[in-house]
Amino acid sequence: MNKPKIVVEYSDKKNSSGKVIDGTIHLNISSRLSPLEKEKHIAKLTENLTGKISWAQRYQFGNSEGIVKTDEELFRLANAINKAYYNFTFQNIEFHKQNSTWGTCSLKTKQIFISHRLIGAPMELLWYVVAHELCHLGEPSHNQRFWSIVSRACPNYDECRKRLKAFGLQ
């Protein structure tokens, strides 16, 4: 894989974040950090996002951003996340018409349904929703243990949750 272009911006905010746009990694780093901490944030976010680009290419998700548009691609994504971070048993995952939630999971049938509104969504958001639903197979409640499990595959889950709220439920 070619090394992606990285764009770094600094802003006066508490957290650092990053995303991939057209194959370029865009980082927004907190200006409140020390120079050493800024470098650590840049390195960690770049590593995470480069890994996601690499996974997207390896599992042939349409392009370098990893746009997921089909149930088959969604299954490959879920399977890859599950094998790398969890190893839970699930039967299937598919896009489903859901307007009031981003995803659902049946503990009885081990089926996962992801809202059709996430078809073509940014990989980081879909990654979080898929990881979230997979984690319900190991912990049904939204308790501290659940969020600890989610953080294995998605350490920036708080940021993803905020972005999903901005993405809207309509």
Query: Distance between CA atoms of 30 and 16, rounded to whole angstroms?
Result: 5
- Measured at the CA of 162, the angle between CA 65 and CA 129, to 5 degrees, comes to 55
Domain that holds residue 53: 6-58
Whether residue 49 is found in the same domain as residue 77: no
The per-residue pLDDT for 57 is: 57
CATH number for position 126:
3.30.2010.10
* Number of structural domains the chain divides into: 2
In a domain, residue 156? The reply is yes
77-97, pLDDT tens digit by residue? 999 999 989 999 999 999 999
Query: Distance between CA atoms of 73 and 66, rounded to whole angstroms?
Result: 9
In a domain, residue 63? The reply is no
In a domain, residue 1? The reply is no
> Is this model's pTM higher than 0.75 or not?
no
Whether residue 51 is found in the same domain as residue 109: no
pLDDT tier, 169 (very low <50, low <70, confident <90, very high otherwise): very low
Whether residue 50 is found in the same domain as residue 87: no
Whether residue 100 is found in the same domain as residue 156: yes
